[in-house]
Structure formats: structure tokens, C-alpha cells
Structure 1
Amino acid sequence: MRADQVCALFISDLHLQPAHPATSAAFFDFLERHARRAQQLYLLGDLFEYWAGDDDIDDPYHQQIIAALRAVSDAGVTVHWIAGNRDFLVGAKFAEATDVMLLPETWVAEIAGLRVVVLHGDAQCTEDTKYQEFRAMVRQPAWQHQFTAMPLAQRKAIIAGLRADSRKEQGNKSYEIMDVTPQAIAEVFEQTGTDIMIHGHTHRPALHLVDGKRRYVLPDWEADASPPRGGWIAIDAQGNITRHDLSGATIG
């Protein structure tokens, strides 16, 4: 392995959907030009705008995404998946079709001599108590079983209603409420014994340095916007961690 070879790439919050074709194209380009040349790829939640259940896997747009991910897996890249707040219903059928590894919501990865804790990040937004109550409900296996037993069209209608309600509520929530809390982040560091974290969810890309620990926040992707947004984080064979924009350029 070359000293500069990419050991792992990390992305999140692409919110892929047919209505955003430029974002979809940017994702396919990323997989072809960057992900296929890495050893590992970590998808840290909200790859899809929503996922109503694995019985929606035959949707033509979903088939494009699945085929692109499968090509990366077939190229020898280990692809890891952590569920987000939009696509937590991804299950075994999707994992089999893409050959991705479904991880628990908090995972410690050993990469290039580093121990890195990876997660989506929504569970750490503890000030948003209403969302946390909703999250606790929908993450229950009993709720998911009952929901996925509904007809697919009914589920999609319910999800559309929930998304509309969420957009309205976000307009009334403060910046602080929708961000992770220092206490929740400190608890993850303590519980995992790590000092490097990578997460998404907040759409506030940054590197936070606190008490000798590094917390990297991934950007959301919106290539259809002006200016376009998006990017990823990379770890090379020497343990260097770099942030990149959609063009692949390193962000300082």
C-alpha cells in the first residue's frame, strides 16, 4: 500500500432523491473517482432523503443507487453503513443487494493506527427533546414492524407528512437546539475511549478541538444549490485526516 493511499472515506447527509439530479450525479462521480480507490467507505446516515422500507428497493432510482454502491463493493472496498434519521429503515435486503455492512449507531473503527468513533449525530442533539422522543419511538423494533406492515404507498404518505411537519418545526427551533450538546459528545468520547470523532446530521461542517480531542462534522450535500455544497473526510495510510469539498480539493 502506498504511503498516500486512502484508507477510509466518510460521507453523510446526501439526502439523495430524484428531484436533486446534480447531487445524484455528484454522488456517482464520487463513488467512481474516489471511493473505488479507497480501502473503506463509511456512509454515516441520511444517504437517502427517506427510506420507507426495503420493499421499496425495486424503485428505479433506488436501483441506480444500489448498483453504484454494489460496484464499489465489488471493486474490493469495504462499505459500512450507519443509519441516519431519514433512512433508519434500511435493512438486510438493502445490505445484501449492495454488499454493505450495517453497523450499530455508534461504532469504533481502527483505521491507520487511529481509533475513530463514527456516528450519525442525531442522538447527540439532546436539547431537541421533542425529536428525541420521536426518535426513541421509531427506533423500537415493534414500531418498525407495525409501520413496515402498512402498504408502501401509505408509508410514503405518512413520511411526506412528517417531513412537512419537521420543516415547519425547524423554523421555530433555535440554532443551539438543533446542534449536538457538549455533554452528549463528551459521553461518547468517554464511553468509547476515543479522542477522534466523525459524524454528520447537523449540516455544519467543521473541525472542533476540545481538551485534546478532535470532532469532525461532515457536510451535507446539495450540488443542485448555488453555490453547491458537499464533500467528505479522508484518512490516509499515515493517519492523516483531511476534509475535502465536492471537487476533491482539501479544505483547510
Structure 2
Amino acid sequence: MQLPKGKKIYFSSDNHLGAPTKEESLVREHKFVQWLDEVKQDAAAIFLLGDLFDFWFEYKTVVPKGFVRVLGKLAEISDAGIPIYFFVGNHDLWMDSYFEDELNIPVYHKPKVFHFNDTSFFIGHGDGLGPGDKGYKRMKKVFTNPVAKWFFRWLHPDIGVKLAQYLSVKNKLISGDDDVKFLGEENEWLVQYCKRKLATNHYDYFLFGHRHLPMEIQLNEQSKYVNLGDWIIYYTYAVFDGEKLELKKY
């Protein structure tokens, strides 16, 4: 994609709408919708890198209740011809075709490479990548197994969604216990993952969410890893103007 003059590409991640309570989530939803309203003025594209919702599951005829403001705004932006790309996170990994069918927003379940103005971007949510975190990787295989999804779908939505929301909110990041700290490059799994990818291919930028911690780490002279932070504590996002990528706070 070649960016038209004056246009930008925006990247955001980890809103966790629905948590920890409906009331607190609504405040953050209003703020995010306000941000979407502002960036649509000069956006060539918008990338959402997962965990937009704290829980999401698509039954054949039912999706979780709520989120009408953000869904309506995304529909408005998409209908205006501004492309939006969605990468599922570990909290909304059960997303299926709803966004594609209703909002014309493509959904990606794995990282993907994009090129803008001859600048290469390796983009994904970031969960389950790199060394370590073997417990989560095993759990993800179970959660994404078609048989497990089939069994969960047989739970009535009033039971299944309520149970999943309860378990999801137990996450310390959402319950207010802010224990996210920089672990050092040698212990940041996504940094190690990026360095391994660079051993075989060059990418100018690696963009991920998942860590809830805004980070910019120079991997070598030509490549940088950027973590987008979140819309719970930091309210950070990234913007590419055709020449450089910046991490900003809203």
C-alpha cells in the first residue's frame, strides 16, 4: 500500500471491553470511540491488534451483548471506505466471521506481513509467540480445538458467556493489579521472537499488543519492536505517517 499524501495508518490493541465491570468498561469504550472519530479524519487504514473485547464467542446466531458504540463506529468507518484489519487476541480468539460479514473487517488469526511505502511491518497480537509460556500454548491448543468449541457452543449463551466473562475478569491486568513490568530484553519473549525472525528475513517494524506495556526496542540498526500498550492504563497507540512510526498516548 502506498499512502496518499497526508494520510496515516493507526494501530491499537488491548481494550478488553466488558471488564472489569460494565460501568468501568463503558467509560473506556466512550474514550476509544472518541479516538476512532478523530483518527478517521486522516486514516488510510486502522489496525486493531486483538483483545478489543475481554471475552468474545460467536454462536451460530448469537454474539455477546453490548459494545454497540464501538461496533457502530467501526461499521461507520468501514462503510466510509477506510479499511480496518483485526487480529484476534487471546481474549477474543473465538472470533469467527461476524466482523467480516457485518462490518467488512478481515480477521486474522496469525501474524501477517504488510508493506506501506516500501516499509515492512510484521503485525500480530503476540500471544503464544517466542520461547517459554508453555502452559498458555497448551491451553490455546485446547481452546482453539474444534471439538472444545463445539462443546462450549452447546452451553446456553446466558451460562457460557457469563462463565467465560467471570473467568476472564480474574486476569490481574483487568482487576486493577498492575504488575506489568519490563523484564529486560533477554526475558521479553516477543523480543526474542523478533530477533529469531530477523535471522531469516528483514522487517522494519514488529508490532504487537498482548503485553499491555508500551515498548519501543531497537533490534538492530534497521529493525524495531513496538508494543502498543493498552487502553486500560496507558491509552497508547501507534501511528505511521509514511516515513516513521511513533508510539503516542491519547
- TM-score normalised to structure 2 length: 0.83
1:118 and 1:144 mapped to 2: Cα distance?
26
2:238 and 2:172 mapped to 1: Cα distance?
28
Q: Which residue identity is paired with 2:106?
A: M
Structure 2 counterpart of 1:57, from 60, 63, 83: 63
Which residue of 1 is the match for residue 7 of structure 2? 5
Gaps of 5+ in 2: none
Structure 2 counterpart of 1:38, from 16, 34, 43: 43
Are residues 151 and 113 of structure 1, via their aligned partners in 2, closer, same or farther at CA, if it must alter by over 3 Å?
same
1:95 and 1:39 mapped to 2: Cα distance?
19
Could you tell me how far 1:166 is from its partner in structure 2? 4.4
1:204 and 2:209 correspond: no
Q: How does 1:93-242 map to 2 (within 5 A)?
A: 93-124=98-129, 126-163=131-168, 166-167=171-172, 176=183, 179-190=188-199, 193-212=202-221, 213-222=223-232, 229-237=234-242, 239-242=243-246
After superposition, give the CA deviation of every residue in 1:49-100 in whole Å (9 maximum; x if it has no partner): 11132544372x2333221110010111111010001111111123211211
Could you tell me how far 1:125 is from its partner in structure 2? 5.7
- Aligned-pair identity (%): 18
1:157 and 1:26 mapped to 2: Cα distance?
25
Q: How does 1:22-37 map to 2 (within 5 A)?
A: 22-37=27-42
Q: Which has the higher helix share?
A: 1
- Alignment: residue pair count: 236
2:112 and 2:35 mapped to 1: Cα distance?
24
Query: What CA RMSD, in Å, does the superposition of the two structures yield over aligned residues?
Result: 2.8
After superposition, give the CA deviation of every residue in 1:109-130 in whole Å (9 maximum; x if it has no partner): 1112211000101112642222
Of 49-58 and 194-203, the range deviating more from structure 2: 49-58
Q: Which residue identity is paired with 2:126?
A: G
On the 8 A contact 1:52/1:152 being kept in 2, the answer is no
On the 8 A contact 2:64/2:161 being kept in 1, the answer is no
Are residues 4 and 240 of structure 1, via their aligned partners in 2, closer, same or farther at CA, if it must alter by over 3 Å?
farther
2:64 and 2:159 mapped to 1: Cα distance?
17
Gaps of 5+ in 1: 223-227, 247-252
Which residue of 1 is the match for residue 247 of structure 2? 243
